[in-house]
Amino acid sequence: MKSVESRFGRFSLVGLLGALLQLLLISLLTKYLGFGGTTATPIAVEITILHNFIWHERFTWSECCPKSLRQIAERLWRFQATNGVVSLGGNTILMYCLVGRLHAPVVPTAVAAIILCSLVNFLLADRWVYANNPNGLARSTSPNR
């Protein structure tokens, strides 16, 4: 079983890849396809959420959970309900307030939004999405996990 620190490191690596993907998508959608920052953000975030889920299944929490199609679908639902809501809501609200209202630059605002949402997302994923029990209750927090 991986330690919380090791898992957070893996989560952060996946998150970094996801952040780069999200920023690339926002940039492409705004610069080349004519989307506004507030419209481009939820599109880019949702694609990134799916990207991150796939990597978390295969890399971050690869050893902890059964892999039947039904169990993966249940985790995807929990991931969307937690990380998806935090990421979509947090990123979109921050983009709307900072870019849409205050005219802050799109990419630095997106970076700040990603950072602000990441710790909450890790805790939700580690304690509920990948809790490794049918009721979705948090695993033991003992250091020997």
Task: Look up residue 35 and give its amino acid.
Answer: F
Residue 142 pLDDT > 90: no
Q: Which residues contact 31 (CB under 8 A, 6 or more apart)?
A: none
Three-class HEC string of 35-59:
CCHHHHHHHHHHHHHHHHHHHHHHH
**Would you kindly state where each structural domain of the chain is located, as residue ranges?**
4-129
pLDDT for position 32: 96
pTM: 0.78
Residue 70 pLDDT > 60: yes
Chain segment 2-32, per-residue pLDDT in tens: 788 899 999 999 999 999 999 899 999 999 9
Residue 75's alpha-carbon distances to 86, 136, 139, 144, in angstroms, are: 16, 9, 15, 24
pLDDT for position 1: 62
